[in-house]
Every structure is written in C-alpha cells, then in structure tokens.
Amino acid sequence: MCLAQVKHVHGDAPGTSPHMNPQPESARGPRDSQAGPPKVIELHDLEVRGNRVRCGYTLTGNLERYLRKGPLEMNYDVPVGEIDDSISYVPFVASVLPLAFLAGADISVRTIDAEYLRSVMLVQDQLKAWRPGVPFRTKIMAGEGKANSFAVGGRGGLLFSGGLDSTASYLLHKDSISTLIMVGGTEDMPLTDLEYWRRVRSLTSSFAAKNGASLHSVESNWLKVLKMPELMRDLSAPLVGPDHQEEIGNWEGLFRITLLGLCSPVTAAEHLQSMLIASTLPLDVTRALGRHGVIEEILRWGDLTITRDTKDFTRQQKIGEVIAPYLDGNQEQIPLRVCHPIRYEKNKRLRRKGMLNCSDCEKCYRTILGLVLDGVNPPRCGFERGSFDSKKVRQQIVDRKLLFTNATLALWTEIKQHVNDRPVQAVESNVWDCNDFFDWLATYDLSQNLLTSGASGEGKTPP
C-alpha cells in the first residue's frame, strides 16, 4: 500500500528536505485498488491576514458526506504573516488527517514542511500496524516538501488544556517551558461560549505569567467543518481495541496528532525547539486498554521535537507528587479546568462567580476526590463546596447511575487503592467530609459499575 508521495515540481531544489527518501517501507508498494472515483482532499487558496489563516478545499470521491463546506480557518494570537507557507499549511493537513486516514483518502497540497510529511507517513505506518482494519493508505501529494528551521535557544512549549494532566506537566517542567498553547474549537473547548473561552484564557494566562511562561491560543473551526457523527458512525469501528468494544481506542491518538498540528505556526513564531503533550494515563494502562504506543513522539516539523510527558505517572501521583507540593509552597491557586463546558454552561450561578468547574459531574467528582485524598483543599484548584456532596456521589455509584468505561474505571480504582495511604493530615482535616466515603470506597467493588457498550471514554452521570 502506498502511503506517501511527494512531487517536487522544481526537482531537488534548494530547501527541499534531504529526508524525503527513502520513504517508509509500506510507501513503496502498489496502492490498493479502490471502487469508484479516487478520494482526494485538495487543499488550496491559503490566505493569511494578520493573525488569521484560511484554507479552501475541494473534495472528490463522496467525501462531502464527512466535510461541510469550508473554508477551514485558524485564528492565532501571534502574527503569522511571516511564517512560511509550508508551516502554515500544516494545521490544515492536520485537520483533515483523521478523515483521510479513516476513509483511505489522499491529500493534495501545494507545499508542506518536509519533516512533517516524512513523520506523518511514519505515524501512519505505526497506526496501520496497530489497527490493520483501518485503511491507513493515505498519500500526501505535495508540490514541494520544504525544510524549515526556527528553533532558538532550547525554548520549550506545552500543549495546555488547563486540566490536571497538562497542569502537572507544566509544574514539573516550568523552568524549561516558555510557552503554553491552548486550543479552542475542540470538543471539550467549543467556541460556542465565548464568555467561557475568554474566562479560561484569562485565568490560565495569569497562572502562566506568575510562573514565568506566556500563554498563546489557537482558535479553529475544524470540528465545525468535520461531520463528526457521520465519521464516527461510518468509519471509526476498526479503531476500537478487540477487547474494549465500549472504547473508541486509538481515536484519541488521531485527535492528538491533529491538536499538535494546529499549534505549528505558534511553535515557529515562538522559535520553540521542543513541545510537550501530557499523558492522561500511564503507558502500561493505555496498553492494557488496547491503545498502543506513543505516536505523538514520531511527529515532527521544522527542527521541533515532540515528547509525550508523564507517561509513567498515574493521576494520583500527579496530584500527590506535583500539585500538592506546589500548593504547599505558596498561597497561589491553580485554575484547573476539568469540567466539560456543556455541564458548566447549565449552571448560571457558577458562571456568575467565574468558576470553571461544575463540581457535580464524573470528571469533577474524581478530581475532587483525588485532591482530597492527598490533603488538597479543592477550592485552591477551582472547585466549589456547595455543588459537591460525597454522600450523593456514593449513592450514584450504589444506584449505578455513575457508570465507568475501562478507562475511567482505572482512574477510580486508583483512588480506591490509595484510600489507606492518605496522609495523616488529610485524614485529620476530613476535607469536605470525605472520610466516610473513602472508608466505604475501600470495600466497594467498582467493577459492578462497568459499562458494557455505548460509551466514548468518559464516566456517565445523570444530566
């Protein structure tokens, strides 16, 4: 199966990447025959105006079922007019990569960073080895593959959501991280609520500045253009691990590849040499869930390297070894954002107070309980006491109104395993009256609450 094709319209002109050949082994075989017209996403008409970049596209092969009319748009908070087009096209290629991979479509683009093209083909090879049921036969047909160099002085960046994972990564490496990059327009950070988006950016920017970093943001209409329900219904089934039919499996890996690509102009404008992306689960747990490896670390553009951070840390380790010591050492607060905006949007009282979390959903429950387990007072991390009741959480679990996928079961099981390891001061202070809950949790069989089908990776709570 042919995975990569580069057409150098000017031959081996200066600036063309010396790494374009040899191609990955799978790129040199014959392409599978396909019924019907070829599936091609042609990116064109790149337009840069100040901080905003737009890109049109033309579709063939019935791909209109999965993409609405464009253009794709990216809005940055740094000037990107001087960024080379081969870097500016990366976010748009990254935006359509999940569709291309799943549908077996090709991508045509005038110019692209040579290292990005080479590494994306390697990512595809690895994904194909893990999930042979997915086509993963995409060619990226580029008029030019261009080498870029922009890194200066070892500057580091971090893809930052404001959640516990990325916050722990930042605090672990804040001496070497100069730039946090936050992406708006994703499923967990939609731009439909601009008030919420501005509030998140404001709190995060202040937190970053106090710790010596700057925050930059990316706004994308990627998920507005992509018809996600149709894509997931028609094409995503082969991504699911064979023993975890309720999980979406490697979709998270494709999503991370897209998110990182959206940040590429910022990394060039900020002259970053390295980029971190935080792990959600430790590597041994992700492998047990049928999600393989660390594909983000294959990805490259220019002279930037990417590392998945904290891949050996559990969530409770991030709290006990990173979050708690940071708070013990100063009087600052950490503006954690773990709640899904849909739940937050329903709570007008919290909105008026400027809170970022509802404190009354599965993600908030397990984060609050994890903090309390290590003696951290939740209000110092953006949670409000009035919306949380450990007795209510217990009853939801007993009544099986709170259900878990394999991924969330692993997170709740970790809390249970550390109940008897609580610091003495955490037990004595009985923060938010959680001692009785923890004593009960130590004897409860959480596997009774395991979902058997229909989940997407998050615990389910009543609306």
pLDDT at 343: 60
DSSP code per residue over 273-303: SEEEEE-SS-HHHHHHTT--S-GGGG--BTT
> pLDDT-derived band of residue 354, with 50, 70 and 90 as boundaries?
confident
Is residue 302 within 8 Å of residue 113, measured between CB atoms? yes
**What's residue 141's pLDDT?**
98
- In the chain, the largest separation of any two C-alpha atoms, in whole Å, equals 72
Q: Give pLDDT tens digits for 228-239.
A: 889 888 887 777
Which stretch of DSSP H or E encloses residue 414?
helix 406-417
What is the dihedral angle through the alpha carbons of 27, 32, 35, 37, rounded to the nearest 10 degrees?
A: 20
pLDDT tens profile 395-407: 999 999 999 988 8
Give dist(CA 366, CA 23) in Å, integer: 45
Calculate ∠ Cα 23-24-28, nearest 5°: 70
Give, in degrees to the nearest 5, the angle at Cα 186 between 181 and 189. Answer: 75
Confidence at residue 339, expressed as pLDDT on a 0 to 100 scale: 86
For residue 459, the model assigns a pLDDT of 57
Joined tokens for residue 198: 């501005």
* 155-169 tens-digit pLDDT: 999 999 999 999 999
Predicted pLDDT at 242: 56
The per-residue pLDDT of the chain, averaged, comes to 86
Could you tell me the pLDDT band of residue 243, with boundaries at 50, 70 and 90? low
Segment 117-138 mean pLDDT:
92
For residues 83-93, give the mean pLDDT: 98
List Cα–Cα distances, 359 to 256, 314, 329, 413, 456, in angstroms: 26, 22, 25, 20, 21
Using the predicted structure, report yes or no on whether residue 16 has a pLDDT greater than 60. no
- Tokens 């014959």 correspond to 30
283 vs 452, more confident: 283
Question: pLDDT per residue over 192-202, tens digit each?
Answer: 888 889 999 99
Residue 423 has pLDDT above 60, yes or no: yes
Average pLDDT over residues 375-387: 92
Instruction: Tell whether the model's pLDDT for residue 17 goes beyond 70.
Output: no
Compute the average pLDDT of residues 368-380. 97
pTM of the model: 0.88
